[in-house]
């Protein structure tokens, strides 16, 4: 009886998840009357706006990931090594982006960094891009921090640090040659989640008026029928590819040094 | 130690908040000497080691190596090698990468690193494992690699923090012999922290026994075992039967234990007739066969424990309990519980403890 209930729950979950996807995919293939075709996909991929906005978002994602790694890895490492009692408070701060809406964050940015402020980042395209990157890093902080912190949990940070110090290593060497390679899989997990967030983000990019992929999807969705469905399927594909890559790199992780039997 | 000290620990103390874990410790270690810090958990031995390594800063006192004050130097500036209980090998580096890490950090050129790594692998007897990762090694192999990694940069002092504790008994014995042989071959000044008295006694030139943050006694393994200065050292190192006695005659070195009298004892100068004193004797110093000059007492057998090569017999003299160790002899009948036997011991084997 329990087994039947479990299978029923699984079937319901699968249908709940797959049916809309299948419907959307089927709809995206119906652009040509009476036959299935990839016309909607071809039109989307050929659109210069698609290429421009997608490239912009990928570049922004790369910078966001780099900034996130530089911010989160040393912070999470230092908290584990020197401030273990501060960990709950740091975790709380990293969770704030989940409860503070993106629109509140971006309005805060606009008020703080507008052209009449002491740091007028919104005055130039580069400044606004930097501001948007900070915003993306904030949105991805809960995921990046958790991923890195989980990675650090699998290694004995304190003893490895002390061993490296006794061998003459400084902080940069310890972080760059020992800690980062040992949490690389966790960092990549965080990086792929960040990529997925940046590719789909709308609010910040739209309010900062940047040519990102999210606002392009919204614009397309408001004016066309089949192309938005094709775009949604492409976006899903990118997300799933990221998740697949997370699984792939997890296999390449350095294993903890648990001794085999003597 | 007769020559000038190489490593000097001068009056160091360490407190964590209100708790003082090391109290005014003075230790001098000679060049090439192997000194063990022995004591129960929480006695402060690892804290002293960590202060020497630079992971903790002393609350008071100073540490110097070869006359150079290192008290406030960073760990990376001390040129001290350390081996940890948990091996602490870098999981992302191969065996060769681990051993060469310190040299790479020091900026040694590639060819010299490769040469030194080969030397170290030969020294620890694992030349075929250079390309393995730590997770592909056994515990004993990992600890050998950790030792090679620590000594590859030619440190001035080697610190071993309970390096054998995580290994099983057989590997522990063989590895401690290897560590001692390597230490003697390289002539490296070494501090070894352990709570295992057998390890400390078998490996060390000198042993420092600690208890509750204080140094109880420093001496050669034989001095520590045969002439413990305090009742803690006597009780902690080896097995010891402690007997409450009353001094009866200073001149004849005589004291009464229960209903029996023991003479020929080396009594401290400070005692006088009628004083209570604590005597101690090791189980192996008590015999069932008499020799010239032995003291003889009658005792009752309370229990017999067969330990393989040795049989440990628990005895009572009145209400005083003590132990006797005798080699197992399959040709002789085993002693039985409740039996009354004569036991013999040399008066010199009886220790008079001052505290």
Query: Residue B2 above 60 pLDDT?
Result: no
Q: What is the distance between the alpha carbons of residues A130 and A121, in angstroms, rounded to a whole number?
A: 8
Looking at residues B59-79, what average pLDDT do you find? 93
- Same domain for B212 and B337? no
pLDDT of residue A259: 46
Query: Residue A262 above 70 pLDDT?
Result: no
Query: Residue A257 above 80 pLDDT?
Result: no
Q: Parallel, antiparallel, or unpaired: how do β-strands B260-262 and B276-281 relate? A: unpaired
Closest CA–CA distance from residue A157 to any residue of chain B (Å):
9
| Chain A residue closest in CA terms to B83 | A163
- Least confident span in A163-172, B205-214, B265-274: B265-274
Residue ending a domain, choose from B171, B200, B235 = B235
ipTM rounded to 2 decimals? 0.82
* Chain A residue numbers touching B136 (CB-CB < 8 A): 260
- Same domain for B305 and B289? yes
What is the pLDDT confidence band of residue A125, given thresholds at 50, 70 and 90?
very high
Q: What is the distance between the alpha carbons of residues A248 and A184, in angstroms, rounded to a whole number?
A: 13
Residue ending a domain, choose from B216, B235, B254 = B235
Which residues, 6+ apart, have CB-to-CB distance to A161 below 8 Å? A81, A174, A178, A179
- Same domain for B226 and B244? no
B35: phi then psi, degrees, rounded to nearest 5: -115, 130
Percent over 90 (pLDDT), chain B: 52
Looking at residues B64-80, what average pLDDT do you find? 93
Query: Residue B157 above 90 pLDDT?
Result: yes
pTM: 0.81
> CB–CB of A262 and B55 under 8 A?
no
Alpha helices in A113-183 (DSSP H): 125-153, 157-166, 171-173, 180-182
Percent over 70 (pLDDT), chain B: 99
B residues 117-176 closer than 8 Å to A (CB): 133-142, 149-150, 153, 159, 167-168, 171
Looking at residues A210-221, what average pLDDT do you find? 90
| Chain B residue closest in CA terms to A155 | B91
Looking at residues B257-275, what average pLDDT do you find? 83
> CB–CB of A167 and B138 under 8 A?
no
In total, chain A counts a number of residues equal to 262
- Same domain for B310 and B185? no
- Same domain for B95 and B112? yes
Q: What is the distance between the alpha carbons of residues B8 and B65, in angstroms, rounded to a whole number?
A: 6
CA atoms within 13 A on the CB side of A169: 24
In the 8-state DSSP scheme, what is residue B335? Answer: P
- Same domain for B213 and B343? no
DSSP string, B263-312: -S----TT--TT-EEEEEE-GGG-BSS--TT-EEEEEEEEEEEE-SSEEE
> CB–CB of B82 and A262 under 8 A?
no
pLDDT of residue A134: 95
Tens-place pLDDT, residues B126-155: 999 999 999 999 988 999 999 999 999 999
Angle at B167 between CA B166 and CA B170, to 5 degrees: 155
Average confidence score pLDDT of chain A: 89
Average confidence score pLDDT of chain B: 89
Choose between B29 and B168: higher pLDDT.
B29
Asked whether the beta carbons of B211 and B236 are under 8 A apart, the reply is yes
What are the E-state strand segments in B202-257? 206-211, 214-219, 241-249, 254-257
Residue ending a domain, choose from B235, B251, B283 = B235
pLDDT of residue A247: 78
Asked whether the beta carbons of B321 and B241 are under 8 A apart, the reply is yes
Looking at residues B35-41, what average pLDDT do you find? 93
pLDDT of residue B282: 87
pLDDT of residue A23: 93
CATH of residue B35's domain is: 3.40.50.300
B residues 212-251 closer than 8 Å to A (CB): none
Question: Could you tell me if residue A11 is left (phi over 0), alpha (psi between -120 and 50 degrees) or otherwise beta?
Answer: alpha
- Same domain for B147 and B219? yes
Q: Parallel, antiparallel, or unpaired: how do β-strands B19-30 and B34-38 relate? A: unpaired
Which residues, 6+ apart, have CB-to-CB distance to B26 below 8 Å? B9, B10, B11, B215
Considering its fold, how many domains does chain B have in total?
A: 2
Asked whether the beta carbons of B131 and B166 are under 8 A apart, the reply is no
For the record, the structure tokens of B3 come out as: 């020559």
Tens-place pLDDT, residues A59-97: 999 999 999 999 999 999 999 999 999 999 999 999 999
- Name the residue range of residue B200's domain: 5-235
Give the nearest partner residue to A163 out of B77, B84, B135, using CB atoms: B84
Tens-place pLDDT, residues B316-329: 887 788 888 888 88
Q: What is the distance between the alpha carbons of residues A78 and A70, in angstroms, rounded to a whole number?
A: 13
pLDDT of residue B331: 85
Looking at residues B61-71, what average pLDDT do you find? 93
| Cβ of residue A181 closer than 8 Å to a chain B Cβ | yes
Which residues, 6+ apart, have CB-to-CB distance to B160 below 8 Å? B82, B83, B179, B190, B191, B192, B193
- Least confident span in A158-162, B55-59, B291-295: B291-295
Query: Residue B1 above 60 pLDDT?
Result: no
Give the count of Cβ contacts less than 8 A between chain A and B.
98
**H or E stretch including A70?**
helix A48-82
CATH match for A23-250 among 1.10.1740.10, 2.40.440.10, 3.30.70.3150, 1.10.3720.10: 1.10.3720.10
A residues 137-166 closer than 8 Å to B (CB): 155-156, 159-160, 162-166
Q: What is the distance between the alpha carbons of residues B93 and A202, in angstroms, rounded to a whole number?
A: 42
CATH of residue B316's domain is: 2.40.50.140
């Amino acid at each position: 009886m329990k087994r039947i209930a479990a299978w029923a729950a699984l079937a319901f979950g699968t249908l709940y998840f797959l049916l809309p996807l299948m419907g959307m995919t089927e709809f995206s293939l119906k652009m040509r009357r009476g036959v299935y075709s990839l016309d909607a996909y071809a039109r989307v991929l050929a659109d210069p706006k698609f290429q421009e906005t997608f490239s912009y978002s990928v570049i922004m994602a790369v910078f966001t990931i780099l900034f996130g790694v530089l911010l989160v890895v040393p912070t999470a490492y230092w908290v584990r090594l020197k401030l273990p009692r501060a960990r709950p408070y740091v975790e709380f701060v990293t969770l704030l982006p989940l409860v503070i809406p993106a629109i509140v964050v971006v309005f805060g940015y606009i008020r703080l960094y507008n052209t009449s402020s002491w740091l007028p980042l919104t005055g130039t395209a580069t400044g606004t891009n930097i501001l948007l990157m900070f915003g993306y890093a904030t949105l991805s902080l809960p995921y990046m921090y958790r991923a890195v912190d989980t990675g650090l949990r699998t290694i004995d940070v304190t003893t490895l640090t002390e061993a490296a110090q006794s061998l003459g290593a400084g902080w940069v060497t310890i972080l760059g040659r020992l800690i980062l390679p040992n949490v690389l899989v966790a960092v990549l997990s965080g990086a792929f989640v960040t990529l997925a967030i940046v590719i789909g983000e709308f609010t910040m990019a739209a309010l900062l008026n940047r040519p990102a992929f999210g606002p392009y999807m919204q614009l397309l969705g408001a004016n066309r029928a089949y192309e938005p469905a094709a775009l949604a399927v492409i976006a899903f594909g990118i997300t799933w590819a990221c998740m697949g890559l997370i699984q792939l790199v997890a296999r390449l992780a350095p294993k903890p040094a648990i001794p085999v039997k003597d | 130690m007769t020559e000038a000290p190489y490593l000097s620990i001068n009056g160091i103390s360490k407190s964590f908040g209100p708790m003082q874990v090391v109290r005014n410790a003075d230790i001098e270690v000679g060049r090439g000497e192997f000194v063990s810090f022995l004591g129960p958990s929480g006695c402060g031995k690892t804290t002293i080691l960590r202060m020497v390594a630079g992971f903790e800063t002393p609350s008071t006192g100073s540490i110097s190596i070869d006359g150079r004050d290192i008290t406030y130097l960073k760990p990376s500036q001390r040129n001290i090698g350390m081996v940890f209980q948990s091996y602490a090998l870098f999981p992302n580096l191969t065996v060769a990468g681990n051993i060469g890490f310190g040299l790479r950090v020091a900026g040694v050129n590639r060819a010299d690193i490769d040469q030194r790594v080969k030397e170290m692998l030969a020294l620890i007897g694992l030349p075929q494992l250079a390309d393995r990762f730590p997770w592909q090694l056994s515990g004993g192999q990992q600890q050998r690699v950790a030792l090679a990694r620590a000594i590859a940069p030619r440190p001035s002092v080697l610190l071993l923090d309970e390096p054998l504790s995580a290994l099983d008994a057989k590997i522990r014995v063989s590895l401690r012999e290897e560590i001692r042989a390597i230490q003697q071959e390289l002539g490296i000044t070494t501090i070894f922290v352990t709570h295992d008295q057998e390890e400390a006694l078998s490996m060390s030139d000198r042993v420092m026994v600690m208890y509750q943050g204080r140094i109880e006694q420093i001496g050669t393994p034989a001095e520590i075992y045969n002439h413990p200065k305090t009742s803690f050292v006597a009780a902690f190192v080896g097995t010891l039967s402690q007997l409450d006695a009353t001094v009866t005659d200073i001149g004849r070195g005589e004291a009464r234990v229960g209903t029996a009298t023991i003479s020929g004892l080396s009594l401290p100068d400070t005692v006088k007739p009628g004083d209570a004193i604590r005597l101690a004797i090791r189980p192996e110093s008590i015999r069932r066969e008499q020799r010239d000059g032995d003291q003889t007492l009658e005792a009752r057998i309370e229990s017999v424990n067969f330990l393989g090569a040795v049989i440990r017999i628990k005895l009572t003299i009145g209400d005083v309990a003590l132990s006797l160790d005798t080699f197992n002899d399959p040709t002789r009948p085993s002693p039985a519980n409740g039996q009354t036997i004569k036991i013999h011991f040399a008066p010199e084997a009886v220790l008079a403890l001052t505290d």
